[in-house]
């Protein structure tokens, strides 16, 4: 164990484990830790007083520190049961409304909220904002919600950050849910940051897994970070609600129970007396082929290896045969061959189709994190070492220009066409 | 017109890899870069200055080496750059980050009132898209996220109109200044630094502000001001892959046939396919 000139046993950072989160730098009471030029934490042994705080706070066990006589606390021990924050109860979902209906991701979250609520022995709440939207409560009940809290006002007729942020904050203050889930849509992400800041609470974006920690009853929120290279599990111990956004298609849509009943509570809301922005015009995306890739049950996905406009006829033909839609990975969008709306990946959309055919997609981690929910993955790629083959249910190593016509032919035969 | 642009220095996540043997993050040789969305936002701030006059201030919160990002901002046309650096800022989540940045802006605004705040839509390391809305809320700015285009700014009437992305399309929206915009990549094409600016940016003295300069409350900074904590870091869940058939060994017909056999192995796959996936 390393000692400094004063004979104190000092902490050491394991360089291959450090993720440069800087938590230890903030925790160190004597300022002995700095970020090295390589972007990793470094302990100045002469300044270190050997208190061990850096080791306790490190989320990745990258601090080597042993002190004689000190009983080392296990990670479990450190996650001691929390008293929670009294007065907050219920798992709430913000119900996003589009064209007078609740959007699907809200119902996916309702299913997750049900599961979390059962674990906590509490109820599922729905928060609904808009004008003339209270009929949506019925759908919320059918998807497992117990109570819908509604604020209606003409100012809420179309989404704008400030009034929605204000109204949802008020609902949280009145109803006091312990958890608030929102879809990681453009609207959900725009709104979540506003509400979390008003409430001074923790918010975790784009979670791929949510669970309740048995001992502490805390919400554990897992999300990809560093471009999908690692998964971080985040928690929020002292503030409420524990807020999280989740992308569409990440959670499973719960089964709908028509006629299931619940309680509807209306809350008066008065807009703050400030000048609000005014929506001048809305231009809908012209979805060529008329299909949203998130909703499509089958996708044929062009990657860098099929980044060629000539290839698209062939891929479209395959998409037609399997009843699917043409999508792509990032390089194809960057080459200007397909619009962003067609992009699958960390910076594009998360998808969970029944059938996913990757053509010339190498399978970078940023792409793979967004196809976790796909039922069957077929990969066609000339490089046998492409990472996509590690996750594909079935792969064909070869040139797509020759493989796909054969694939279409044989598939048509088997389909009896 | 005074625009302030927030820049984050991030590891180039495209270069970050997991060592398959040790299951740890390989950061050796991974460069720190300025978040690409922030550089697009800066470009728009500078080109609006070219159009309407005024000044652009760039802010960056981070360790001392983050001043590289600020030198880059100078070379790209920022008039003034300020590094927000203090041990007390370390370990900040988005709530503490938006607090620190907004405190710096409150201080800046005392010298020159701020009309526009620019941020990237998200940073490529965390991808949260939360800091922009956090700053807008704290400073009480009109919030426009996912901006594709600034249509115009009217300094007389104190209005701005932008085109922004939202579910299912784009909207044109107009609102009062001051406003905070978060940039999509389409918002602007960053310029190349001119040689004189590049040279002067390298020689410039980068101003640094700490917690004391910001007159910030220590309880709201860095790790103390962060309600979210990391409990664990893990590798992404692995998906079990199946067989791959090599055309060079089997020939196209045979490889495709074996691949389809594997697919059809699952009961009901063919019928689902035939029913066009309808349940």
Is there a shared CATH topology between the A12-72 domain and the A91-266 domain? no
Contact A234, A221 (CB under 8 A): yes
Measured between alpha carbons, how far is B50 from B55 in angstroms, rounded to an integer?
Answer: 9
Is pLDDT of A288 > 60? Answer: no
Q: Which of B25, B252, B270 sits opposite A402 (nearest CB)?
A: B252
Helix (H, G, I), strand (E, B) or coil at A133: coil
B95 inside 8 A of chain A by CB: yes
Candidates 3.30.43.10, 3.40.50.620, 3.30.420.40, 1.10.540.10; correct CATH number of B2-220? 3.40.50.620
Residue A58 distance to chain B (closest CA, Å): 9
Contacts of B18 in chain A (CB under 8 A): 229-230, 365
Q: Do A20 and B11 touch (CB under 8 A)?
A: yes
Contact residues on chain B for A355, CB-CB shorter than 8 A:
273, 277
**Predicted pLDDT of residue A41:** 83
pLDDT tier for residue A79 given thresholds of 50, 70 and 90: very low
pLDDT at residue A76 in the model: 42
Q: Distance between CA atoms of B140 and B145, rounded to whole angstroms?
A: 15
User: Which CATH code for domain A12-72?
Assistant: 3.30.70.20
Angle, helices B252-264/A400-414, rounded to nearest 10 degrees: 50
Beta-carbon contacts below 8 Å between A and B: 331
Q: Which residues of B fall within a CB distance of 8 Å from A228? A: 236
Cross-chain residue pair B175–A276, CB shorter than 8 Å: yes
Q: How far is B159 from chain A (nearest CA, A)?
A: 9
β-bridge partners, B208: B83
pTM of the full structure: 0.86
Chain A CB contacts of B84 under 8 Å are: none
Each residue's pLDDT, cut to its tens digit, for chain B (279 residues) gives 999 999 999 988 777 766 666 556 666 667 889 999 999 999 999 999 999 999 999 999 998 989 999 999 999 999 999 999 998 998 899 999 999 999 999 999 999 999 999 999 999 888 899 999 999 999 999 999 999 999 999 999 999 999 999 988 899 999 999 999 999 999 999 999 999 999 999 999 999 999 999 999 999 999 889 999 888 888 777 778 899 999 999 899 999 999 999 988 877 888 888 888 876
Asked if ipTM goes beyond 0.85, one says: yes
Output b/e per residue, A201-223; b: 16+ Cβ within 10 A: bbbbbbbbebebbeebebbbbbb
CA gap B86, B248 in Å, rounded: 59
Q: What pLDDT sits at residue B20?
A: 60
Q: Is the pLDDT of residue A75 over 50?
A: no
CA distance linking residue A61 with residue A63, whole number of Å:
6
Q: Is B247 on the interface with A (CB under 8 A)?
A: yes
Question: For residue A186, which residues of chain B lie inside 8 Å, CB to CB?
Answer: 145-146, 165-167
Write the pLDDT tens digit of every residue in A30-74: 888 887 777 778 888 888 888 888 888 887 788 888 764 444 444
Query: What distance in Å separates residue B56's CA from the closest CA in chain A?
Result: 24
Q: What is the pLDDT of residue A60?
A: 79
pLDDT of residue A227: 75
Q: What percentage of residues in chain B have a pLDDT greater than 70?
A: 94
Of A200, A228, A233, the CB nearest to B232: A233
CB contact under 8 Å between B230 and A21, yes or no, is yes
Question: pLDDT (tens digit, 9 = 90+) per residue, A93-132?
Answer: 999 999 999 999 999 999 999 999 999 999 999 999 999 9
B168, B167, B110, B172: which is closest to B144 by C-alpha?
B172
Q: Would you call A202 and B95 a contact, using CB atoms and an 8 Å cutoff?
A: yes
Q: What is the pLDDT of residue A417?
A: 59
**Is A19–B130 a contact, with Cβ atoms under 8 angstroms apart?**
no
B120 touches chain A (CB under 8 A): no
A376 vs B contacts (CB less than 8 Å)? 263, 266, 269
8 Å CB contact of B262 and A393: yes
Residues in A closer than 8 angstroms to B177, CB to CB, are: none
Stretch among A135-149, A300-314, B9-23, B108-122 having the lowest mean pLDDT: B9-23
CATH 3.40.50.300: does it fit domain A91-266? no
Top residue of A164, A227, A252 to mutate, by most chain B CBs within 10 Å, is: A227
Of the pLDDT bands very low, low, confident and very high (cuts 50, 70, 90), residue A385 is very high
CA atoms of B53 and B72, how far apart (whole Å): 21
Name the band, by pLDDT with cuts 50, 70 and 90, for residue A287.
low
3 state SS of A203: strand
Cβ neighbours of A98 in B, within 8 Å: 167-168
Q: What is the DSSP letter of A47?
A: T
Q: Does residue A84 surpass a pLDDT of 70?
A: no
Chain A residues whose CB is inside 8 A of the B218 CB are none
- Over residues A307-324, the mean pLDDT reads 91
Fold classification of A293-414 (topology level): Rossmann fold (3.40.50)
Q: Which of A393, A200, A181, A358 has the alpha carbon at shortest distance from B262?
A: A393
Mutate to test the interface with B, among A277, A304, A351 (most CBs of B within 10 A): A277
Instruction: Please report the pLDDT score of residue B126 as a whole number.
Output: 84
Residue A247: closest C-alpha in chain B:
B128
For chain A, the structural domain boundaries read 12-72, 91-266, 293-414
Please indicate whether residue A288 or residue B174 has the higher confidence score (pLDDT): B174
> Residue A204 — pLDDT band, cuts 50, 70, 90?
very high
Contact A233 B245 (CB under 8 A): no
Q: What is the pLDDT of residue A149?
A: 98
pLDDT of residue A396: 96
3-state secondary structure chain B: CEEEEEECEEECCCCCEEECCCCEEECCCCCEEECHHHHHHHHHHHHHHHHHCCEEEEEEECCHHHHHHHHHHHHCCCCEEEEECCHHHCCCCHHHHHHHHHHHHHHHHHHCCCCEEEEECCCCCCCCCCHHHHHHHHHCCEEEEEEEEEEEEECCCCEEEEEEEECCEEEEEEEECCEEEEECHHHCCCCCCCHHHHHHHHHCCCEEECHHHHCCCHHHCCCCCCCEEEEEEECCCCCCCCCEEEHHHHCHHHHHHHHHHHHHCCCCHHHHHHCCCCC
CB contact under 8 A, B244 and A389: yes
- What's the whole-number average pLDDT of chain A? 89
pLDDT band at A246 (very low <50, low <70, confident <90, very high): very high
Which of B124, B168, B227 comes nearest A236 by C-beta?
A: B227
Contacts of B212 (CB under 8 A, 6+ apart): none
Residues 182-221 on B with a CB inside 8 Å of A are none
pLDDT at A295: 85
């Amino acid at each position: 164990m390393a000692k400094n000139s004063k004979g104190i046993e000092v902490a050491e950072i394991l360089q291959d484990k450090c993720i440069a989160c800087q938590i230890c730098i903030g925790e160190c009471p004597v300022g002995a830790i700095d970020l090295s030029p390589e972007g990793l934490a470094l302990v100045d042994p002469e300044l270190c007083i050997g208190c061990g705080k850096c080791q306790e706070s490190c989320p990745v066990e990258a601090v080597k520190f042993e002190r004689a006589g000190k009983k080392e606390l296990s990670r479990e021990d450190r996650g001691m049961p929390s008293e929670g924050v009294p007065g907050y109860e219920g798992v709430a979902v913000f119900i996003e409304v589009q064209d007078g209906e609740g959007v699907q991701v809200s119902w996916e979250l309702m299913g997750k909220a049900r599961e979390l609520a059962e674990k906590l022995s509490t109820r599922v709440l729905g928060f609904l904002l808009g004008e003339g939207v209270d009929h949506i409560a019925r759908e919320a009940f059918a998807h497992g919600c117990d109570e819908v809290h509604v604020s209606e006002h003409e100012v809420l007729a179309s989404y704008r950050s400030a009034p929605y942020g204000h109204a949802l904050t008020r609902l949280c203050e009145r109803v006091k849910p312990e958890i608030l889930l929102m879809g990681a849509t453009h609207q959900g992400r725009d709104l979540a940051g506003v509400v979390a800041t008003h409430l001074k609470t923790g918010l975790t974006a784009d979670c791929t897994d949510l669970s309740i920690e048995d001992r502490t009853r805390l919400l554990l929120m897992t999300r990809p970070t560093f471009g999908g290279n690692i998964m971080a599990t985040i928690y929020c111990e002292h503030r409420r609600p524990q807020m999280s956004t989740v992308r569409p298609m990440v959670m499973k849509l719960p089964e709908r129970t028509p006629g299931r009943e619940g309680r509807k509570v209306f809350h008066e809301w008065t807009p703050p007396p400030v000048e609000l922005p005014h929506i001048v015009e809305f231009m809908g995306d012209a979805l060529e082929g008329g299909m949203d890739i998130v909703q499509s049950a089958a996708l044929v996905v062009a990657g860098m290896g099929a980044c060629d406009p000539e290839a698209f006829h062939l891929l479209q033909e395959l998409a037609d045969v399997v009843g699917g839609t043409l999508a792509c990975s990032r390089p194809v969008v960057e080459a200007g061959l397909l619009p962003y709306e067609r992009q699958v990946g960390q910076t594009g959309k998360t998808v969970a189709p029944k059938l996913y055919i990757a053509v010339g997609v190498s399978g970078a981690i940023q792409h793979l994190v967004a196809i976790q929910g796909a039922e069957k993955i077929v990969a066609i790629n000339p490089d046998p070492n492409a990472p996509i083959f590690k996750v594909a249910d079935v792969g064909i190593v070869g040139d797509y220009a020759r493989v796909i016509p054969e694939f279409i032919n044989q598939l048509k035969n088997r389909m009896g066409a | 017109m005074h625009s302030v642009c927030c820049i984050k220095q991030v590891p180039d996540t495209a270069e970050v890899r997991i060592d398959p043997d040790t299951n740890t993050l390989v950061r050796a040789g991974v460069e720190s870069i300025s978040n690409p969305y922030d550089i697009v936002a800066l470009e728009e701030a500078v080109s609006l200055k070219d159009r309407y006059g005024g000044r652009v201030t760039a802010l960056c919160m981070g360790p001392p080496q983050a001043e590289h990002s600020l030198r880059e901002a100078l070379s790209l046309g920022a008039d003034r750059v300020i590094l927000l650096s203090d041990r007390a800022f370390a370990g900040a989540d988005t709530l503490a980050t938006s607090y620190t940045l907004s405190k710096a802006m409150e201080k800046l605004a005392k010298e020159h009132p701020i009309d526009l705040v620019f941020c990237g839509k998200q940073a490529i390391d965390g991808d949260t898209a939360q800091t922009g809305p956090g700053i807008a809320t704290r400073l009480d700015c009109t919030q426009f996220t996912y901006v594709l285009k600034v249509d115009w700014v009217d300094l007389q009437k104190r209005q701005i109109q932008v085109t922004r992305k939202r579910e299912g399309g784009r909207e044109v929206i107009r609102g009062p200044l001051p406003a905070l915009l978060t940039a999509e990549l389409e918002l602007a094409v960053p310029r190349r630094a001119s040689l004189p600016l590049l040279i002067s940016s390298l020689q410039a003295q980068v101003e640094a502000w700490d917690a004391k300069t910001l007159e910030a409350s220590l309880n709201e900074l860095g790790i103390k001001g962060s309600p979210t904590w990391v409990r664990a870091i893990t590798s992404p869940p692995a998906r079990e892959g199946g067989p791959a058939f090599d055309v060079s060994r089997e020939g196209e017909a045979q490889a495709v046939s074996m691949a389809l056999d594997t697919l059809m192995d699952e009961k009901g796959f063919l019928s689902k396919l035939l029913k066009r996936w309808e349940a």
